[in-house]
Structure 1
C-alpha cells in the first residue's frame, strides 16, 4: 500500500497539535490562505536525459573493394526502329479544269473553270457551263431540243478582318413548247408552229463579311430576266445582318429589302400588257440561347409589302422559333420549330422549275403563314445516321402550275404556246402535311449511301387539287471509290402521282375542263463510272434514265429516253 507525503504531513500535524493542546490548553487556529500548489512546485522529467558515460566508442571506417572479372558474351542487341504511320499523299489541287462530254440525242456537256491569283489575298474566277441535247423523243411532233449556258465571273478578297466578293454573270436557255396533243392539232398546223422559246438573264452582286464588327455580313444582288416574247423582269435584293452579344447571348437581326418589277405584253386570252411591281421590307430578329445540350432560337419577323400596280399594301408577322436538344449526345438530337416568311415569287424562279410556261403568268408573293415541324436526328451506330421529321405548313397564295387550254381562235393567228402546250400559274390557300425520313450509311471510307423519302397530303381551298404537286418523293444516292483509280456513283429518284388539268370542251366557245389527268409516278435511274489516270486526267461515262421510260414530268411533255454520255476532265495550272 502506497502512502503519499501529504498524508504523513497531516498525521504529523494532528499528533503535534494534540500534544500542544495537552500542554498549552485550548487555542484557536486561523487558516489565512489554503495551500494552492503550482506547476513550478513539480519537477519535470527530461524526455532526452543526459547520459554520462566515461567510455566513448569511436566509429571505425569500413573499407571494401570489388573484384571485377570480365565475362565473355556473344549477345549483340539489335537496333530498334520506330514504327511509322503510313501517310497518304494529299491530292494535288489545280486552279483550272475543263470537262467535255458527248452522248446520245446529240447531247453535249462542257465546263471550264479557272482561278487566277491576283495577289496573296485576292482571286479572280471564271466559270462557264453548257448543257444541251438536240432532242428526238419518240412520238413528239415538234422540235424538242434544248440548251442551257451560263458564264460567271467573280472576284474575291480575304483579309484578316474583312472578306468580300463580287460576281457577274449571264445566262441563256433555249426550250421548245413541244407538248402538243396530236389529236387536237392537224399535221398541217403542226408544220407551221415554231415552238422555240429563249430566256435571257444578266445578274451582278456581292457579299461582304466583317470580323468583330457591328455588322456581321451583307449581300446585294440585281438580276434582269427576259424572253423573246417581250417579257422582262428586274429584281433587286439587299440583306444586311447585324450580330450583337447581349448578356453572353447572341442577338441576330436580318434586314430584308426585296424589290421586283416586271411586265409582259402577251398572254392567252388577254392582249393587254401585264405589269407587276412589289416592294417588300422585312425585319427578322432572334436571340440565340446556348445551354449545354440545348440550343434555342427565339425570334420573330415582320414584313411590309406594297403592290404599287394595285395600290395595295399589307403587314405580315411571322414566328421564327427553333430548338434542338442533345438527349443522348450525337445518337439522339430532338429538334422542333415554328417558322414563317413572306416569299417573293418571280418569273425567273418559275421558269427554272417549269420552263414551259406561258409568257405573262401572274406574279405575287406567297404568305407562308407558319411551318411547324418536329423531328429527331442522330446516329444509330457509328456508321449509320438518321433524320426523321413531321411537318405541317399553311400557305396563302401558293403558286400551282396548271395546263392551259387551247386557244379556240384561228390556228394561224395563235402564238406557239396557245395549243394546250404551255402552263399557267394559279394561286390558292394550301395546307400541307408531310412525313420525312432519311438514312445515311458510311459503310467505309470508300462507300457512302443516302436514302430519303417524303410523303405529302394536301388540302386546297378553291382549287380541286394541288396541281402538279407529287404525293410522294424518294431518292437514293451512292458514291463508291472502287480503287485508287476507279470510282462510281448512282442516283435513283422516285416521284409519285400528280394531278393536272386534262381535256377541254370548246362547244360553248369557252374552254371547260371535262376530266382531270393523273400523271403516273416514275422512277429515274442514273449512274456514272470513271477512271483517273493521274492527278490531271480522268475519263467518265454517265447514263441517265437507264430504265428507258419516256415518263411525263409535265402533262404531254415526255422526257428523253435512255441517255449515255462519255467524256473527260483535265486539270491544269497556267505556266506549269
Structure 2
C-alpha cells in the first residue's frame, strides 16, 4: 500500500503492525491491539512574507485494504521575489500525482501518472547595466508528463522466477519549444540455482530530443546478470553489465564489472567492504535541467562512460544507537559533464549555461555517522571530499571540492518537533568573462568561495488532526552562488499549519 510521503512537518505516524499481548482470561489467547486509525487526507499550508513565498500541499489516500490502494498528491511552491541588482528571480513549482495499486495473490499491479511544471527566470545579469523589465524576456519553464506501470511478483517458492517489470514514458517540453520523449523498460528476474541467488536485470531505454538546432536519438540496451551469495559472516554480489549505446547512429559496446562484498569481522561492529562497478550515464535534457535549470535549451549532449569505479570502506554499529560508514572510491569517466556560462552569443545577457565534457578521474573520500535514540533524537553527520582531475579543462567547473551535511531532529513527547540542518558546499570554480572584442570573448577561471546554509524549524502538534510549523532558512544570511551569476535568497522564514480535513 502506498502511504502518504514523509514530510518535515506532518501528523504523527503510528505503526501499522499490531502488537500482541496475553489476555488475562482462560484459556490464554493472543489478542490484537486495535489498529490505529488511518485518515484519507492531509493538507499543509504555509507562507513566507520576506520573499512572498506561498506554499500548499495536499495528499488524498485510501485507507487499509487487502485488495487495493490509491491516492493523489498536489504541491505548489513559488516565490515572487526580486533580488538586488539581478533580473526578476521569481519561480513557480507545481506538481501533481495520481497512483494506484491492485493486490493479487502472487502479484502487485501498480500505476501512476506524474505532472510537473516548473517556471524559472534567467535572472543572472546585472540590472545596473541591463535595464530589462519584461519578465517574459528571461522566462523559462519545464513541463513534464510521465505515466508509469509496474508489475511485481511475490513468489515464495524458490524454484519460481520472481519478476519486476516497470514501463515508463515521459514527455518534457520547455518555453523554447524543445521537446524530449523517453520510453524506458526495466525488468529484473530472480531465482535460485542451488543455494545461489541469480538476478538478471534488463534495460531498454530510448529517447528522442528535439531542439531548435538539432535532434538527438539515443537507444541504450543493457544486460546485467549477477549472482548473490551468502555465508555466515559474509555476503557477495558478482556479475557483469553489458551495454549497447546507439547514439545518433554511432553504436558502441561497453562491459562493466560488478562486485560487492563485505565480511563481518566482529558482531556487525567492524564490517569491511570492497567493490567495483561502472556504467553508462545518460545525460538528457531532463537530467541536466534538473541539476541546473539555467541551462541554454540548445546544449550539446553526450553520454558519460564510467569505465570503472573501485571502492572500499568500513562500516558498522558502534552501539544500538550509533552507526558509521567510511569509504574511499576512485573512478574514471569519459565525457563527464561540466557547466559553464555560455558566452558564444555576444548579443545576449550571458545568463545561460552550456554543457562541456572532458575525460576525468575522480577520487572521493566520504564518511557518515548516524545516531538515533528511540523516536526522540535523530542525528546524522556526513561529508565528502572530491578530487577531480580533468584531462583537458583547467578546472572541474562547478564541481565543489567537498560537502558536509549535519541534520538533527528532536522529538519532545511527540508534541514539539525541532529540526536543524546545516549544509556546507566547498570551493568551486567558474569560467568567467574578463574581456571581449568584436570577435572573441576572453575567459579565465574564477574561484567561488564555499557556502553555508543553516536552517531551523519547529512544529507544534496541537492534536492528531492539527499542527503548526515555523521554519527559518539561511540563518547565516549569506548571499551565496551555487551557480555563478545566480545569488540565492538571504534569510527568510515560513509559517504554516497542517491539518486533516477528513
TM-score, length-scaled by structure 2: 0.89
Partners of 1:423 and 1:180 in 2: how far apart? Answer: 13
User: 2:471 aligns to what?
Assistant: 542
Partners of 1:111 and 1:474 in 2: how far apart? Answer: 29
Paired residue for 1:224, among 162, 171, 174? Answer: 171
Conservation of the 8 A alpha-carbon contact between 1:173 and 1:199: yes
Distance change in 2, residues 1:193/1:203 (3 Å): closer
Paired residue for 1:201, among 135, 144, 158? Answer: 144
2:293 counterpart of 1:370:
no
Conservation of the 8 A alpha-carbon contact between 1:339 and 1:370: yes
2:79 counterpart of 1:136:
no
Partners of 1:90 and 1:450 in 2: how far apart? Answer: 32
TM-score, length-scaled by structure 1: 0.78
Paired residue for 2:126, among 170, 181, 187? Answer: 181
Conservation of the 8 A alpha-carbon contact between 1:540 and 1:566: yes
Question: What's the offset of the Cα at 1:550?
Answer: 1.1
Question: What's the offset of the Cα at 1:242?
Answer: 1.0
Paired residue for 1:492, among 422, 429, 442? Answer: 422
Question: What's the offset of the Cα at 1:93?
Answer: 3.0
User: 2:182 aligns to what?
Assistant: 235
User: 1:433 aligns to what?
Assistant: 363
Distance change in 2, residues 1:238/1:193 (3 Å): closer
Partners of 2:135 and 2:289 in 1: how far apart? Answer: 25
Distance change in 2, residues 1:119/1:386 (3 Å): closer
User: 1:507 aligns to what?
Assistant: 437
Conservation of the 8 A alpha-carbon contact between 2:88 and 2:135: no
User: 1:4 aligns to what?
Assistant: none
* Greater fraction helix: 1
Question: What's the offset of the Cα at 1:484?
Answer: 3.2
Summarize deviations over 1:51-96 as a string: whole Å, max 9, x none: xxxxxxxxxxxxxxxxxxxxxxxxxxxxxxxxxxxx9998643221
Paired residue for 2:97, among 141, 147, 152? Answer: 152
Answer with 1 or 2: which has the greater Rg. Answer: 1
Question: What's the offset of the Cα at 1:407?
Answer: 2.3
Partners of 1:260 and 1:253 in 2: how far apart? Answer: 23
Summarize deviations over 1:501-545 as a string: whole Å, max 9, x none: 1124322512231x2211110100111101111111111001111
User: 1:296 aligns to what?
Assistant: 236
Structure 2: segments with no counterpart, 5+ residues = 1-31
Distance change in 2, residues 1:516/1:182 (3 Å): farther
User: 1:211 aligns to what?
Assistant: 154
SS in 2 for 1:481: strand
Partners of 1:88 and 1:116 in 2: how far apart? Answer: 22
User: 2:407 aligns to what?
Assistant: 477
Partners of 1:505 and 1:394 in 2: how far apart? Answer: 35
Q: Which moved more, 1:114-123 or 1:331-340?
A: 114-123
Query: What is the count of residue pairs matched by the alignment?
Result: 466
Question: What's the offset of the Cα at 1:118?
Answer: 10
Partners of 2:174 and 2:231 in 1: how far apart? Answer: 52
Paired residue for 2:354, among 424, 428, 435? Answer: 424
Conservation of the 8 A alpha-carbon contact between 2:208 and 2:218: yes
Paired residue for 2:60, among 114, 123, 147? Answer: 114
CA-atom RMSD in angstroms? 1.9
2:106 counterpart of 1:161:
yes
Summarize deviations over 1:10-56 as a string: whole Å, max 9, x none: xxxxxxxxxxxxxxxxxxxxxxxxxxxxxxxxxxxxxxxxxxxxxxx
Paired residue for 1:451, among 378, 381, 392? Answer: 381
2:471 counterpart of 1:533:
no
Summarize deviations over 1:326-374 as a string: whole Å, max 9, x none: 1112211111110011121210111111110101112222111111110
2:44 counterpart of 1:99:
yes
2:497 counterpart of 1:568:
yes
Distance change in 2, residues 1:553/1:159 (3 Å): same
Task: Map 1:17-56 onto structure 2 (within 5 A).
Answer: none
Partners of 2:393 and 2:338 in 1: how far apart? Answer: 10
Task: Map 1:408-423 onto structure 2 (within 5 A).
Answer: 408-409=346-347, 418-423=348-353
Distance change in 2, residues 1:182/1:375 (3 Å): same
2:211 counterpart of 1:264:
yes
Partners of 2:68 and 2:134 in 1: how far apart? Answer: 55
Question: What's the offset of the Cα at 1:483?
Answer: 3.0
Question: What's the offset of the Cα at 1:244?
Answer: 2.2
Partners of 2:63 and 2:380 in 1: how far apart? Answer: 37
Question: What's the offset of the Cα at 1:444?
Answer: 4.8
Partners of 1:186 and 1:143 in 2: how far apart? Answer: 12
Partners of 2:99 and 2:136 in 1: how far apart? Answer: 41
